[in-house]
A = this chain, B = another copy of it.
Amino acid sequence: MENKSFYVHHSAFGAFSSFMLGKLGKGGGFVLNDVRPPKDNIFIGFKQDEKINLLPFCELDNNAEEEFTGEVDASKKEKAIKIFSEKEIQRQIGWASDTFIADKLTFSIVTPFGNIKNPLEMTQEEKKLAFAPVIFAQLTFDNRDKATDAEMIFGIEGPKRRLSITTEGTYVGAALERKYGFAAINSDEIKELSRLDILTSWANDNYQNHDLGRAPSLIFKVPKGTIKTFTIALATYQEGTITTGIDTKFYYSELFNSLEDVIAFGLQNCDYYLNLANKRDKELKESNLNEYRQFLLAHATHSYHASTQLMVNKDNLPLWIVNEGEYIMMNTFDLTVDHVFFELRFHPWTVTNSLDLFVDRYSYYDQAGLAFTHDMGVSNGFSKKEYSSYELPNLQGCFSYMTHEELLNWILTGAVYVLKTKDETWLNNNKKIFLECFESLTSRDKNCDGIMDVDSSRCENGSEITTYDSLDTSLGQARNNLYLGLKSWSAYVLLEKIFKEVGFSEHCEKAVEKALAAANKIVGQFDDKEKYIPAVFENGNTSRIIPAVEALVYPYIIGDKVSVSEDGKYGELIKKLKQHILTIMKPGICIDEVSGGWKLSSTSKNTWNSKIFLCQYVIKEILRIDFPDEENWDKVHANWQKLSCSEEGATDQVNSDTGTARGSRLYPRLVTSILWMK
């Protein structure tokens, strides 16, 4: 675990805001309604024996004073400032923390998260604890061996006002307008320092506050012979109506009146939050996952939370959004289906919240029946009813319709939710939707072989694509596609169970028929000589793809081990898929010869981490294939994130040879890695 220099999002649940930090030599800071790293200077460090020592998150130029005076002041004392180099720093990212250690300084950013009940079933106090847009930082300095007093600093360029002014001295800290800030409980050991040139003033022991300062900071005393830890709340707040198309406010804005209110609540309850974070860190540490997987899941979770946004609509009902990383599309459905494993673990009600909105506003009818849009809009703007922001007619590739894939996503997400949670009320309310979905699905299979062969009329003269929009045809084309074929099979397998639950016995049988047809079709495509199934059953395609097995996850995850077993009803399919995987997981096919990492398709360099993680789970847990290279592969994939994508945050689409980002930066989808956790 050598590289320590990479951005990480640090975010409260549902606040669509982050405190970003971690790429050494670059700044960071707060970002609201977005996930891209700001470039503000961050001052974290200590002063002892007339020398300032800082973590490498700031640049030292500060000519703020000259901008006022127009003169260079040569009399300023030379600043004795040292910036720690990478090799002097240790970094440890936990599931709910990110810690930097340099010399006697320990700095942690703590992002508590845990199970969150449906807000409709919460008390007011539970809601406040769950949805306060607050995270924490802790600074510790071990001065036990030293004979001189020390001070620590925490400051961000961006905030301008000191929080003691609006809190009448109860809290100290800094804020940018009413939007974000950080604070500690006031005490004799902490003071605010605001200066135009904060570091020069601190170096010169000038503690006079000047409210034109650009980085009001906190200064913490650590007397000689002591060790001290200080806790800071980092909070964001956005008032009023935020979205358009559907007018919504942040859920927390009905619980808290202001940034100051959030800060006060956070600091009053910081023990609760720190314990919660600690519990998550411990859980990951004790998970038996190797260090690379621990890192990948932790990194993914940080990015997922950065994209989450819990709103309240005009009827006072919660409205859940996960934004699509750098693209900021809202509730992209082909991400929802991948987030379902994480959400079912921590907050299952967000799954149905999205599914219901898809039914109510983001479904439509094409020539074949019910269908769902790719997303619900972009950048806080809900798109018009029945339309996504992404999809366009008359295209063959990127930006075409994903009608069939999204139809499968509603079925699979809904079925996994129901069959895992046994939420009968929701199932009862939606049984007709499942039925309509089934009918729509079958009518897209004209030749009755169980897999899609009809493009949506929404495509006009174009044709449908899959979620793998930027890969080549092997995964990009929807029609007669192996990946999507398996996903259709999986949908039929789950629909059988849904229909059984609601007593639609006739449809049970039909669903089984379709599942068998799909399985037979796919089995029939197996190339006995080369021992694989081609990615597309058209035009002599010979691509080898790992996501052939992706959809096995759905029956398995709801406990149907028979359907995915070699001895079950679909045994032949499972056997063939196992052979397929054994054939392709080789260097030059689906193992990249340069990096040694996984390549989703033998014919594309574009590989997606979220799907690698998911397929790793399927291959090991379901197909029971144990590759000896697993930990090496994990190391490669971890280094893609930590080295190649260090400036892009958690990144989904990378080049399989270099690991550099191709797209889907700062992305939530990598939480498929939650599947690794038992």
Interface size on A, residues (CB 8 A): 51
Q: Which residues of B contact A537 (CB under 8 A)?
A: none
User: How many whole Å from A471's CB to the nearest CB in chain B?
Assistant: 9
Structural contact, A663 and B210, CB atoms closer than 8 A: no
Complex copy number for this chain:
2
Q: Which residues of B contact A377 (CB under 8 A)?
A: 211
Q: Which of A212, A469, A470, A653 is packed against the most chain B CB atoms within 10 Å? A: A212
Query: Which residues between 416 and 469 of chain A lie within 8 Å of chain B, taking CB atoms?
Result: 469
Structural contact, A177 and B245, CB atoms closer than 8 A: no
Contacts A160-B378, A239-B241 given; does A165 touch B71 at CB 8 Å = no
Structural contact, B399 and A210, CB atoms closer than 8 A: yes
Contacts A161-B244, A242-B177, A244-B177 given; does A68 touch B327 at CB 8 Å = yes
Query: Which residues between 377 and 427 of chain A lie within 8 Å of chain B, taking CB atoms?
Result: 377-381, 383-384, 387-390, 392-394, 397-399
**Ranked 4 nearest A-B pairs via Cβ:** A70-B662, A161-B381, A211-B389, A239-B240
Contacts A177-B244, A211-B378, A379-B177 given; does A165 touch B398 at CB 8 Å = no
User: How many whole Å from A398's CB to the nearest CB in chain B?
Assistant: 5
| CB-based nearest B residue for A175 | B244
User: How many whole Å from A50's CB to the nearest CB in chain B?
Assistant: 22
User: How many whole Å from A252's CB to the nearest CB in chain B?
Assistant: 14
Selected from B177, B389, B469, the residue in CB contact (under 8 A) with A381 is B177
- Rounded to whole angstroms, the CA-CA distance of A323 and B160 in the bound complex is 15
User: How many whole Å from A539's CB to the nearest CB in chain B?
Assistant: 20
Q: Does A208 contact B (CB under 8 A)?
A: yes
Structural contact, B244 and A68, CB atoms closer than 8 A: no
Selected from B208, B240, B383, B663, the residue in CB contact (under 8 A) with A68 is B663
User: How many whole Å from A381's CB to the nearest CB in chain B?
Assistant: 4
Selected from B69, B166, B210, B469, the residue in CB contact (under 8 A) with A470 is B69
Structural contact, A663 and B165, CB atoms closer than 8 A: no
Structural contact, A242 and B161, CB atoms closer than 8 A: no
| Given contact pairs A33-B177, A178-B241, a sample of 16 additional A-B residue pairs in the complex whose CB atoms are under 8 Å apart | A68-B327, A68-B399, A70-B662, A70-B663, A160-B378, A161-B378, A161-B379, A165-B381, A165-B383, A166-B245, A177-B379, A208-B393, A211-B378, A211-B381, A211-B388, A212-B389
| CB-based nearest B residue for A389 | B211
